[in-house]
Amino acid sequence: MGSDRTVRINAPAKINLVLRVLDRRPDGYHNLWSVMQTVRLEDELYVGLSARAGIRLQCDEAGVPTDGRNLIVRAAAAVLARAGRSESRPPGVEIHLIKRIPVSAGLGGGSSDAAATVIALNALLGLGWSRDMMVSVSAPLGSDVPFFLFAPSALVRDRGEAVTSLSVTGARWVVLVNPGFPIETRWAYEQLSAGRTSVRPLSDALRRIERDGSVAWEQVVAVMENDFDAVLVPTHDALGQIKRQLMAAGAEVALLSGSGATVFGVFRDEATALHAQAALGKTEGWRVFAVPASSVPLSCEAGGAPRPAPVG
């Protein structure tokens, strides 16, 4: 990468175990109430400081922008600005992204990459920022970004910037199925708003999770819901088909993640999850991943050179 010091950091995908879209705010955004969980499907970032000024991003996947449209570049610029460093003076920032999380899929890949960039630069530049400080730098980048600073699980409210730790006890595997078409988040919100006249209040079970700050997988499986599910599943046949196949393969529950189009099933054990992955993987065009529903908190380690992405 031609940089003096490099760190490696994994950026995990997320799923929404609960996603309630509440009232529309005066600023046009909606208030959210979501239980979010990272899963072990991860992008890999190599972040380095360089003697050459500027922010440069390389990505192994064609189709992912590497300019100012990429949240990684915007995150790096936000960190430099808040740290009082000029982008036109060294040190510059060089980042190599190995993309494994499907894009525009409701899995928060870009947001996770952004949070990972903030964490890596905090370490590389020796800024010593607290998590609260990193939340304040990353919140303007997107509503899912602050969550990743609280991985593996958290309760996310308001516009996404009000994040509180939540422990989800026990263990599960998930099978993620991406049908191969994107659903634009903005469009999904428009469909949701057009189809409803009032907002359902939060259930007592969800209020209890909020109060306790801890929930067991058995309990959360029983209350999982996503407001986009009712709007998008009837209009996209593949989503209903995936849900039915996941349930037939032994999932405890199957639900859309975020505003889709990835659907995930929750499984008690690895063997059943791998079996489901093999069964659903037979459909051409679907990308299927079986992974543990957990990850470690995002943190960086001494880097080295990027390894090539595995095939498949």
> Which residues belong to the active site?
14, 144
Among 49, 71, 215, 251, binds ligand ATP (CB under 6 A): 71
70 contacts ligand ATP (rule: CB under 6 A): yes
241 contacts ligand ATP (rule: CB under 6 A): no
d(CA 139, CA 77): 14
Q: By rule CB under 6 A, what count of residues binds ligand ATP?
A: 20
At 118, which helix (H) or strand (E)? helix 109-124
Strand duo 30-50 + 92-98: pairing: antiparallel
d(CA 127, CA 81): 12
Instruction: State in angstroms the smallest separation of the CB of 256 from ligand ATP.
Output: 11
Among the listed ranges 104-112, 129-137, 159-167, 168-176, the one in contact with ligand ATP (CB under 6 A) is 104-112
Residue 164: other Cβ atoms inside 10 A: 11
Q: What residues from 123 to 182 belong to the interface with ligand ATP (CB under 6 A)?
A: 142
Among the listed ranges 33-41, 109-117, 169-177, 298-306, the one in contact with ligand ATP (CB under 6 A) is 109-117
The pair of structure tokens assigned to 11 is 């950026």
12 contacts ligand ATP (rule: CB under 6 A): no
Among 111, 226, 277, 294, binds ligand ATP (CB under 6 A): 111
The mark string for 177-216 relative to ligand ATP (x by CB under 6 A, - otherwise) is --------x-------------------------------
65 contacts ligand ATP (rule: CB under 6 A): yes
- Residue 219 neighbours by CB under 8 Å, 6+ apart: 205, 209
> Phi/psi of residue 101, each to 5°?
-80, 125
42 contacts ligand ATP (rule: CB under 6 A): no
d(CA 26, CA 249): 44
Strand ranges inside 103-219, DSSP E: 153-158, 162-165, 167-169, 173-178, 214-216
Amino acid at 306: P
User: Which of 91/142 has CB closer to ligand ATP?
Assistant: 142
Contacting residues toward ligand ATP, per CB under 6 A: 64-65, 69-72, 103-111, 113, 142, 185, 258-259
